[in-house]
């Protein structure tokens, strides 16, 4: 679980920005089918690793953390077959047309380097054509 704790901040760059980590502010998440398959494989691998942990070696707090981690991974995997739902780009609360604007709002703009990151991210927004 310690290995996993650092991965979400590094992997989805948009989430990292929303959490205040601007190291990945020059890119958008990779939404390619190849990356999507790799993400599901990673979740399955993490779940398998978590299930191998000896519960007897854990204190009560760590057991709860492990249970929560396993439940989160199982919930994630329950969405894998729901391709239509996962690719729904518009809904009543927003969609691609609002999420990029929100991301820009969350992006830091204090330095020239941060402004350049925003411009790079804007250039990478070409995948929008997939949704129109």
pLDDT score for 93: 78
pLDDT score for 41: 96
pLDDT score for 50: 97
- Which residue numbers in the chain have pLDDT < 70? 1-11, 127-132
Phi-psi region of 91 (alpha: psi -120 to 50; beta: other; left: phi over 0): beta
Q: What is the pTM of this model?
A: 0.69
Domain boundaries, the chain: 1-30+89-132, 32-87
Between helices 33-51 and 60-78, what is the axis angle to 10°?
A: 150
Determine the distance from the C-alpha atom of residue 126 to the mean position of all C-alpha atoms in its chain, rounded to a whole number.
19
d(CA 31, CA 94): 18
Dump pLDDT digits (tens) for 27-62: 888 878 898 899 999 999 999 999 999 999 999 999
pLDDT score for 6: 46
């Amino acid at each position: 679980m310690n290995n996993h704790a650092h991965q979400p901040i590094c992997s989805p760059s948009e989430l990292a920005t929303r959490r205040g980590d601007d190291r990945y502010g020059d890119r958008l998440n990779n939404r390619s089918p190849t990356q999507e398959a790799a993400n599901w494989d990673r979740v399955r691998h993490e779940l398998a690793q978590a299930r191998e942990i000896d519960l007897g070696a854990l204190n009560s707090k760590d057991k709860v953390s492990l249970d929560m981690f396993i439940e989160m991974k199982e919930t994630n995997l329950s969405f894998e077959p729901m391709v239509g739902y996962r690719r729904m780009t518009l809904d009543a609360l927003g969609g691609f047309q609002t999420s990029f604007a929100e991301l820009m709002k969350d992006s830091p703009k204090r330095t020239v380097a941060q402004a350049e990151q925003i411009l790079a991210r804007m250039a990478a927004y070409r995948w929008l054509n997939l949704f129109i």
